[in-house]
Amino acid sequence: MQRFVFAALWAILTLPVEAQWRQAAPGWEYAFPRDELAHPDFKTEWWYFTGNLRELSTGRRFGYQLTFFRQGIRAPGDRPAAQSKFVTDHFWFAHFAISDLAAKKFHATEQVSRGAFDEAGSGPGDRLVWNGDWSLRQPRPGTYTLAAATDDFALQLDLESMKSPVFHGADGISAKSPDADNASHYFSHTRLSSKGSLRIGPRSFQVEGASWFDREWSTSVLGEGVAGWDWFSIQLDGNVELMLFQLRSRDGSPAFTSGTLIEAGGKTVSLADGEIEFHPGERWKNPKTGVAYPIEWRAEIPRLQLSLNVRAALPNQELRLAAVTYWEGATDIVGTRDGQAVKGVGYLEMTGYGSNLVGLR
């Protein structure tokens, strides 16, 4: 049965976009908490948390990812009232990973649901999204609780945004190609104080640190010939953050780049296509699959006089899941800005290196 569900999910994710789905377009007026709940008229969306944590007593470092996805099946114009619980408008799935950097171990898993029996969904109230017993709640504006558990590892966090939400692109429309049809509605909480606990096997750790929350919804984001992307969240010392990404053509060359700088006081600088230079360095190859990922990158932004070296805190942070394989993990960052040394931590996601499905971002 599980194979059938994943096969069906694969087929749905690779269907061409139908005209009935709403497209991300200028004029959207962001409103909260509405835009932290689901947008069922768009085909795809996600609630994407990543973060770097340390054990309170020892400083032992961990990274984590917990992401909730909704993927539309029946477009709004094709939704007559369902006569059966086995008919659903959406698939709901979630990815959960913990990087135990001291032990050099990576733990990852997923959950997939149809949501027909309330086993997954979004809202109303403070339950923004859930999949099984994995959940994202919002006790009050700007605060969140995350919870996910398996037999082998678990996470429970309380988070509070330290800055106002950042809207990427032009008025929150994040272009993914020169074609205006390829775009998403995209905002982030780029620095959230994070406290709670995580468990690996029988051992529990009290942790604190900083998280990043991406909220994005769209119908069509990838242009013709795009093979995958490289996405960076960067939290520098001094309360400065960057979101950077490049889409890659099938020959590996950049197809499109974009980004946002968030200054300590909250001022943002949008970075247009071509303003960011990405240079891959050392690669890690999975000995089981032969797939190789760049685990070191140099990002150059001449307009900002900024040069950053981003390196994986652990080479093997690859999620090998039923419907998709991609690399996502904690990073260490050093570099210079205006000739002054800077450093920080972040997260890196790389898709399209070893999976026919470029990913779910």
Domains of the chain and CATH, by start: 2-350 (2.40.370.10)
Query: What CA–CA distance (Å, rounded) separates 248 from 278?
Result: 11
Q: How many CA atoms lie within 13 A of 90 on its CB side?
A: 26
Q: List phi, psi (to 5°) of 9.
A: -60, -45
Q: List phi, psi (to 5°) of 342.
A: -135, 155
pLDDT given for residue 69 in this prediction: 97
Query: What CA–CA distance (Å, rounded) separates 240 from 216?
Result: 21
pLDDT given for residue 80 in this prediction: 64
pLDDT given for residue 358 in this prediction: 42
Contacts of 342 (CB under 8 A, 6+ apart): 236, 237, 238, 240, 308, 333, 334, 335, 336
pLDDT given for residue 86 in this prediction: 64
In degrees, rounded to 5, the angle at the alpha carbon of residue 23 between the alpha carbons of residues 20 and 29 is 125
pLDDT given for residue 85 in this prediction: 63
Chain centroid to CA 335: how far?
24
Asked if 230 contacts 245 with a C-beta cutoff of 8 angstroms, the reply is yes
Residue 306 is inside which H or E element, if any?
Answer: strand 306-312
pLDDT given for residue 153 in this prediction: 98
Query: What CA–CA distance (Å, rounded) separates 101 from 1?
Result: 35
**pTM of the entire predicted model:** 0.92
pLDDT given for residue 64 in this prediction: 98
Asked if 50 contacts 65 with a C-beta cutoff of 8 angstroms, the reply is yes
Burial degree of 151 (CB within 10 A; 0-12, 13-18, 19+): exposed
Burial degree of 275 (CB within 10 A; 0-12, 13-18, 19+): middle
Strand partners, 229: 247
Residue-wise pLDDT tens for the chain (361 aa)?
A: 333 344 344 444 444 444 589 999 999 999 999 999 999 999 999 999 999 999 999 999 999 999 999 999 888 876 666 666 666 788 999 999 999 999 999 999 999 998 888 899 999 889 999 999 999 999 999 999 999 999 999 999 999 999 999 999 988 899 998 877 789 999 999 999 999 999 999 999 999 999 999 999 999 878 788 999 999 999 999 999 999 999 999 888 999 999 999 999 999 999 999 999 999 999 999 998 889 999 999 999 999 999 999 999 999 999 999 888 999 999 999 999 999 999 999 999 999 998 654 444 4
Residue whose structure tokens are 């948390």: 49
Asked if 353 contacts 228 with a C-beta cutoff of 8 angstroms, the reply is yes
Burial degree of 146 (CB within 10 A; 0-12, 13-18, 19+): buried
Strand partners, 344: 236, 333
In degrees, rounded to 5, the angle at the alpha carbon of residue 148 between the alpha carbons of residues 147 and 149 is 130
pLDDT given for residue 39 in this prediction: 96
For residue 260, the SS3 value is: strand
Which residue pairs, CB below 8 angstroms and at least 24 apart, start in 176-181?
A: 176/221, 176/222, 176/223, 176/247, 176/256, 176/258, 177/222, 177/223, 177/226, 177/247, 177/255, 177/256, 178/223, 178/256, 178/273, 179/223, 180/25, 181/23, 181/220
Q: β-strands 90-100, 105-113: how paired?
A: antiparallel
Dihedral sign of CA atoms 140, 348, 172, 127 in order: negative
